[in-house]
Structure 1
């Protein structure tokens, strides 16, 4: 869960993740959406063509499904600073917080090396902390690092020092060294929550993301995936945009009209008592919601 919402136009910086989701749920209910507080553990396609979702509290059936299960950042072993107050994962979200501040990048792979170099755009004090792991970056990356003012600290962390507000102040190392930091980034990769997509037979990329087209359609008909579960930048506004594109695609798929010509040839013209195509229970709610005094 996000502690605070950043980089989302129209949403103030002090808005918490819970507040943001609460407003979203209220808006969905106003449009007739049912919200179930349940954990889905599996799903499959049934013989009648529907999709069955199995949760801890109930089972659900649907014609279409949009998967937005995201990923989990791989956390390093403790001791660690507090998440959001010294331990961060998203460079695009939080790099600006460390302008002219001492920063660490925790990790030993290509991503750690390149994030450390990128942070030099914001500060002149950047360390890579490998924590006794042998670097796995390429020779080319090693040359890049050696030509930038980045210190590589190999000793493991043994302690954390915080300031009076709970923000990271310094890290203690096993050789007795204490180095001051305002914060930093853990770069150990991500674990994608793609279990439901695998259950349904969706193709998965080598990095664990779900294969989708430009509108979020997976390789399985009527199954969509959006947000951090899919390739690309892991940003809230991007995830919202992907959700909107998938929603538009679903609107086209679910619309009753215009009716296909082959159906008209078989069933005849659309009768006046068949329109509007919106279900009665939603029609009443939408008329009430969009009635202007």
Structure 2
């Protein structure tokens, strides 16, 4: 028997849709390949989510998870590797099985964007993507943040009281944040240096990362460091949609309308995977919208 609804992803968008689905008494399953809560768990302090003047990212993620647990949302920890959209009910394939659903909400989130050089050769050897996961290893050390915009600014802000010095290296002529207040706070960080218009060329070091070679005005420069945090933002987790006819837009984000509908009947998407501003408030709102669209579709089926 097919589920009424399968939700792919257990971040803020997916859990919101799941909570609403349980309240609607749907036969629902949430499939999450990692831990519930999504990328917000890796944020430092969250100050822009209504109802909390200030809350740590992992605490907010925990609140989402507990809320879903209260409504007994079934969560399966597996990775979806494909969806068959050729016939109904739709079939979702994971590494361990096949599941059928009359409707699907894709809330698969995003992952860290690479620089595109050799940084992953030094992953775990001085190169990191998650500030809140790895900042502890760089207490009182000098580090580089490779990145752009809001991501680089947030990384620097979360590192300011932990490391000795932060050098933001960006290939852009400026650093712009989604929220102006973060740009203002950037100016107030005393142990910060910013190098603009510097294109990363190569991470160097013997057994660990010891510096970054950058290109500035056509000339190579070596910037020494004791650690590197890569903060170029995120790319959507849509690789598993390659064999479907679900329409993607620029950047491989899922193309949806105002009701979070994809171009495939009965399949919806919400949260980071749809692009736009990557904010938890947006994810929660889209989670509600996607659920409402799915519910309307399921009601028409019966």
The TM-score bracket by the shorter chain reads 0.5 to 0.7
CA RMSD of aligned residues (A): 3.8
Question: C-alpha displacement at 1:92, in angstroms?
Answer: 7.9
Task: Name 2:35's counterpart in structure 1.
Answer: none
1:90 aligns with 2:138: no
Match of 2:184 among 95, 112, 121: 121
Please, which runs of 5 or more residues in structure 1 have no aligned partner?
Answer: 137-152, 161-170, 172-184, 260-276, 278-293
Q: Deviations over 1:48-92 (max 9, x none)?
A: x22100112221111111111121112552434662237697368
1:99 to 1:37, Cα distance in 2 relative to 1, 3 A: closer
Q: Deviations over 1:142-193 (max 9, x none)?
A: xxxxxxxxxxx94244424xxxxxxxxxx8xxxxxxxxxxxxx744353321
Match of 1:38 among 78, 97, 110: 78
Structure number with larger C-alpha Rg = 1
Task: Name 1:224's counterpart in structure 2.
Answer: 268
Task: Name 1:159's counterpart in structure 2.
Answer: 226
SS of corresponding position for 1:252: helix
1:21 to 1:120, Cα distance in 2 relative to 1, 3 A: closer
1:72 aligns with 2:125: no
In 2: Cα distance, 1:96 partner to 1:116 partner: 14
Task: Name 1:288's counterpart in structure 2.
Answer: none
Task: Name 2:138's counterpart in structure 1.
Answer: none
In 1: Cα distance, 2:296 partner to 2:249 partner: 27
1:196 to 1:64, Cα distance in 2 relative to 1, 3 A: farther
- Report the number of matched residues: 213
TM-score using structure 1 length: 0.59
Question: C-alpha displacement at 1:116, in angstroms?
Answer: 6.3
Please, which runs of 5 or more residues in structure 2 have no aligned partner?
Answer: 1-38, 136-142, 201-211
TM-score using structure 2 length: 0.57
Question: C-alpha displacement at 1:19, in angstroms?
Answer: 1.8
User: In proportion to residue count, which structure has more strand?
Assistant: 2
